[in-house]
Amino acid sequence: MRKNRFSNRVVDEWSKFYDHGVLRKIRQIYGWG
């Protein structure tokens, strides 16, 4: 349960990065995905 709660929080944080387009920029730089 603790792990799930933490994972959900991390996913929420990543969602914010997605909204700001930061993750997309990172993917371009490092070639992820």
- Which mean pLDDT values do the consecutive 10-residue runs of the chain (33 residues) have? 78 75 79 65
Question: Residue 17: its pLDDT value, please?
Answer: 67
Question: Residue 32: its pLDDT value, please?
Answer: 64
Using alpha carbons, select from 1, 5, 32, 2 the residue that is nearest to residue 17: 32
What's the token pair of residue 11? 């996913």
C-alpha to C-alpha distances, 26 to 2, 5, 17, 30, nearest whole angstrom: 29, 26, 10, 6
Question: Residue 1: its pLDDT value, please?
Answer: 55
CA 15 to CA 12: how far, in whole Å?
5
Question: Residue 27: its pLDDT value, please?
Answer: 80
